[in-house]
């Protein structure tokens, strides 16, 4: 049996709720395995994507903040790209900058100009070139769609502070801005998938369409974009697995973005090396094949800048989550928050210290992860 190519398309800053309302993403859902409750490790790209590529939390890999790309323990954690490269895949990335994903294992690693490059035509050309050479080698390509991020940077991050009343008093304006940016992402993904079909790459590829984190439109005062808090509007991401041998399915139980790497390797029948550090993620292939597996806790952490311009060097907000509950620990002031996600999906009512038994269970689990270092 021939090995499949891997095409990973990452929509930077893509919100799950907007994907659920989208006709284009609904069409993708109808032809894919859709993870409707996938939780990111970091509500900002660097930590989020290092966790995806390593299958492990940044508490262990070293990449746990905006500043820690170069702290990634590359001699201890083998990346998805390295596995594929060693299995004769040609590996290529087109990214927003040098920092967002581990560079190990890439044959070609190119940074696009986020303000000027037409990513649709650029990524179509990459796919076209790969389709010509794919009869010689399998390939892995990582395509980073950065235009939502760039729009938020130019129109929000460069204009407002985390505590700008003007931003939080104009939620309708914020939503319209985000809708406009998301619509461009819809047009991009539709065009890219059409190109993949035209080039017939869908016949022998696993295609993953995912987002790394969401973006605030003014839900919680103090976070005007992302990366300050651990609330679900930035933690819940969208993920679609498309391949001609996968049945249409929605996986509703909680999954984690650290599970993607072991899932991809399992699907491609590439064994995980036992002499490398143990992964935090697990293969979701049994779920994809219709079997049931236990749900795992999802851990997230980030650095709240408070009233500073830049985020701190180390995370100071941490959370642990199940499908039904979430505990947030704000290290900067030693406060905790507990939310019943079924009854309170928008996390409006903090029920910490009300005698809820899940508080102690989640706190114990969070402490175990926080104290785990390689």
Residues 149 and 265 in one domain: yes
Residues 263 and 309 in one domain: no
Confidence of residue 339 (pLDDT cuts 50, 70, 90): very high
Predicted confidence at residue 372, as pLDDT, reads: 76
Mean pLDDT in residue range 214-221: 96
Q: Which helix (H) or strand (E) holds 206?
A: strand 205-211
How far is CA 262 from its chain centroid?
A: 15
CA 39, CA 208: separation in Å to the nearest integer? Answer: 16
Residues 40 and 93 in one domain: yes
For residue 309, give its domain range.
Answer: 298-370
Both tokens assigned to 173 = 């304006």
Q: Please report whether residue 171 resides in a domain.
A: yes
Last residue in a domain, options 288, 311, 330: 288
Residues 249 and 304 in one domain: no
Question: Residue 183 pLDDT > 60, yes or no?
Answer: yes
Residues 247 and 273 in one domain: yes
Both tokens assigned to 297 = 């806790």
Taking a C-beta distance cutoff of 8 angstroms, is the pair 220, 153 a contact? no
Question: Residue 132 pLDDT > 80, yes or no?
Answer: yes
What does the pLDDT look like over 236-266, one tens digit per residue? 999 999 999 999 999 999 999 999 999 999 9
Both tokens assigned to 316 = 């100071």
Taking a C-beta distance cutoff of 8 angstroms, is the pair 152, 213 a contact? no
First to last CA, the chain: 38
Last residue in a domain, options 234, 258, 288: 288
Looking from the CA of 83 toward its CB, the CA atoms found within 13 Å total: 22
Q: Please report whether residue 184 resides in a domain.
A: yes
Mean pLDDT (the chain, rounded):
95
> The whole model's pTM is what?
0.96
Q: What is the largest CA-CA distance in the chain?
A: 62
Mean pLDDT in residue range 134-147: 89
Q: Please report whether residue 293 resides in a domain.
A: no
Q: Mapping DSSP to helix (H, G, I), strand (E, B) and coil, where does residue 257 land? A: helix
Q: Please report whether residue 252 resides in a domain.
A: yes
Predicted confidence at residue 373, as pLDDT, reads: 67
Count of structural domains, the chain:
2
Predicted confidence at residue 291, as pLDDT, reads: 94
Q: Mapping DSSP to helix (H, G, I), strand (E, B) and coil, where does residue 34 land? A: strand
Predicted confidence at residue 374, as pLDDT, reads: 56
Q: Please report whether residue 238 resides in a domain.
A: yes
Q: Please report whether residue 34 resides in a domain.
A: yes
Residues 226 and 102 in one domain: yes
Helices and strands (DSSP H and E) totals, the chain: 13, 13
Query: Strands 33-39, 236-242: parallel, antiparallel or unpaired by DSSP?
Result: antiparallel
CA 193, CA 197: separation in Å to the nearest integer? Answer: 6
Predicted confidence at residue 134, as pLDDT, reads: 64
Provide the CATH number for the domain around residue 190.
Answer: 3.40.720.10
Residues 73 and 214 in one domain: yes
What does the pLDDT look like over 104-120, one tens digit per residue? 999 999 999 999 999 99
Residues 267 and 331 in one domain: no
Last residue in a domain, options 235, 270, 288: 288
Cβ neighbors of 25 (< 8 A, separation 6 or more) are 19, 186, 189, 238, 240
What does the pLDDT look like over 284-314, one tens digit per residue? 999 999 999 999 999 999 999 988 888 899 9
CA 4, CA 207: separation in Å to the nearest integer? Answer: 10
Higher-pLDDT residue of 273 and 275 is: 273
Q: Please report whether residue 195 resides in a domain.
A: yes
């Amino acid at each position: 049996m021939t090995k499949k190519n891997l095409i990973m398309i990452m929509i930077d800053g893509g919100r799950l709720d907007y994907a659920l309302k989208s006709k284009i993403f609904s069409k993708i859902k109808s032809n894919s395995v859709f993870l409707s409750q996938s939780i990111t490790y970091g509500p900002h790209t660097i930590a989020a994507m290092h966790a995806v590529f390593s299958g492990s939390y940044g508490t262990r890999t070293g990449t746990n903040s905006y500043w820690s790309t170069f702290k990634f323990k590359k001699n201890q954690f083998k990346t998805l790209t390295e596995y594929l490269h060693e299995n004769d895949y040609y590996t290529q990335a087109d990214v927003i900058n040098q920092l967002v994903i581990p560079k190990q294992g890439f044959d070609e690693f190119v940074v696009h100009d986020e303000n000027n490059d037409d990513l649709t035509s650029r990524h179509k050309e990459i796919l076209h070139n790969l389709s010509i050479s794919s009869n010689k080698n399998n390939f892995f390509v990582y395509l980073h769609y950065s235009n939502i991020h760039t729009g938020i940077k130019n129109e929000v991050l460069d204009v407002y502070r985390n505590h700008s009343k003007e931003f939080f008093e104009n939620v309708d304006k914020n939503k319209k801005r985000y809708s406009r940016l998301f619509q461009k992402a819809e047009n991009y993904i539709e065009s890219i998938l059409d190109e993949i079909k035209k080039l017939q790459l869908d016949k022998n590829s696993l295609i993953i369409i995912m987002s790394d984190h969401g973006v605030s439109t003014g839900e919680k005062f103090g976070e005007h974009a992302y990366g300050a808090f651990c609330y679900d509007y930035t933690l819940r991401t969208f993920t679609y697995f498309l391949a001609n041998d996968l049945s249409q399915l929605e996986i509703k139980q909680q999954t984690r973005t650290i599970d993607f790497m072991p899932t991809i390797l399992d699907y491609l029948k590439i064994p995980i090396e036992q002499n490398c550090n143990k992964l935090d993620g697990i293969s979701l292939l049994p779920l994809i094949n219709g079997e049931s597996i236990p749900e795992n806790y999802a851990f997230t952490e980030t650095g709240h800048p408070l009233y500073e311009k830049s985020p701190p060097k180390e995370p100071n907000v941490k959370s642990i989550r199940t499908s039904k509950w979430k505990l947030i620990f704000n290290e900067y002031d030693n406060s905790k928050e507990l939310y019943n996600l079924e009854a309170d999906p928008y996390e409006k009512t903090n029920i910490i210290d009300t005698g809820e038994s899940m508080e102690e269970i989640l706190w114990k689990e969070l402490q175990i992860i926080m104290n785990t270092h390689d």
